[in-house]
Structure formats: structure tokens, C-alpha cells
Amino acid sequence: MRIEKDRCVCCGECIAVCPVGAIRLRKKDKATGAKAVAEIERDECVECGACFRYNICPENAIAEEALAWPRILRKAFSDPVYTHEGTDIPGRGTEEMKTNDVTGRFKDGYVGIGLEFGRPGIGTRFREAEKAIKKLVPLGVHLEPNNPLTQLIANPHTGELKPEILDERVLSTIVEAIIPLDKFQQVMAAVREIAAEVDTVFSFDVIGKVAPDGSIPAAQEMQKAGLTPSINGKVNVGLGRPSFPF
């Protein structure tokens, strides 16, 4: 994104809509005569398009840019209406993890995990998510191949991402994986180490099936790890056809 300086009247209307605080007002330079304008800090901007999409500028001074690699990743992971080339759907993840009745991704004896890095107002850089991947890969987790972040891994044996993307800033990104239930405590220990090392916020999601007796094995493992899980469910009531055989 960029602001056309010759059109900007420095009203400041665009500042409130930027979710990562990347827009600044620059005062008039008395020495050079340069007028006061709003500027987008390129290193902080996540290319979410909010300032442009909301049509907030009274002078239409905000413009989109043609983005090259790797900056285009900022838009792919931050703009909710941009179709990601690696998944053919908008957004930073895969088909919703909660719709297991449609996807069949999580089988008996396995549990899904999600580490969602960054949030509006904070954001993150890919190097923070890389710290998590490098901790999890040695544990033998199965990273979701359709996840757009997984597709950016340069070395699947170490979890290292492509080096040129590490400093790209995005609104958020998700590490998605599937693990055997008996490895949950190992993974939980790694998650605690990740929490102590990353320079952003992340939420930890756990996805599992309900057992025939009504118990939730994943929740039991969380309780063993000293967590108090919030049990959330979603039922599609026939809105989707399972893509796997029963």
C-alpha cells in the first residue's frame, strides 16, 4: 500500500483503520517546505488492504501496489479477501479445523493442534512461526500439507522456512499439525518452550474427536498437562457431505 503525497491532506482518517499501526502523520518540514502528509511505514505494513478497502480517505490518496515475492506473502496472509495461491481459498489457514465431520482429518487416537501467531494490533513475522515449527518437527508431528505456511518450509527435516521470507510481517499465520495422542505431553512441553521464546502472541488450539463413551481424550490430555480447556464444538447439521468414507 502507498499514500499519494500530492493528494494527501493529512486529515488522519486512515490511522484508525490500520490494524497494525503502520500509518504515521509527518509534520510539515519548514526547512524544505514539504507539506504535512500521512505515510505508510513499509516495514510495518502487512498489506491487509484495510485502509484502501474501507474507502476512508476523502481524497482517494491511498493506492494499492503490485507486490512481488516475497512481499506478496504479506497480502496473502493478511488480506481476508485475497485468494491464497497455495490453497485456492482466502485466508491464512486450511479448511476449518472444526469441520471434522466433513474433512475427516482427525482420526481416533490422534489429535490436531494449531498455533495461531499474531493478531490485529500486534501482527507477527514468519521468523516467530519458524521457531515453533523447528521445535515441533523433531517430535515427529505431521504438519498439514495444505496449510500455506507449511508450503513455505525450505527444509522439512529441520522446519526451517525459506530464508527470504523470515522478516516479512503478516497479520497472523497458523501452524497446523496432527499428532498421536500419546505424544501430546511432549508437544505440550515444546509449546511452553515456544511461548517463552517468541516475540508475539499465539493461541494454542487442540482438536480431537469425542469417544463413544462421551469422553474427550484430547481434553483429558490437556488436563494432565495442567491446562483448563475450553470445550467448543461445532455441528454442521447436514450442511456438508463428508469427503471420506465411514
pLDDT digits (tens, 9 = 90+) for 198-229: 999 999 988 888 888 989 899 999 999 999 88
Q: Which helix (H) or strand (E) holds 48?
A: none
Residue 175, pLDDT score? 95
Residue 196 DSSP SS3? helix
Residue 50 DSSP SS3? helix
In this structure, what C-alpha cell is assigned to residue 29?
Answer: 518540514
Cβ–Cβ < 8 Å for 20, 44 = yes
The mean pLDDT value for 115-130 works out to 93
User: CA 140, CA 124: separation in Å to the nearest integer?
Assistant: 25
The residues, any chain, with a CB within 8 Å of residue 33's CB and separated by 6 or more, are none
pLDDT digits (tens, 9 = 90+) for 103-121: 777 888 999 999 999 987 8
Residue 46, pLDDT score? 97
Kindly list the structural domains of the chain, giving each domain's residue range(s) and its CATH number in brackets, ordered by start.
1-65 (3.30.70.20), 85-224 (3.30.70.1710)
Using the predicted structure, report yes or no on whether residue 242 has a pLDDT greater than 60. Answer: no
End-to-end CA distance of the chain: 48
User: CA 52, CA 59: separation in Å to the nearest integer?
Assistant: 12
User: CA 217, CA 229: separation in Å to the nearest integer?
Assistant: 12
The residues, any chain, with a CB within 8 Å of residue 31's CB and separated by 6 or more, are none
Report residue 150's pLDDT band, with 50, 70 and 90 as the boundaries. very high
Q: Tell me the average pLDDT of the chain.
A: 89
| Residue linked to cell 501467531 | 117
Q: Give the whole-number percent of the chain exceeding pLDDT 70.
A: 91
pTM higher than the cut 0.85: yes
> Cα dist. 235→127, 170, 207, 219, 244 in Å?
35, 31, 14, 18, 17
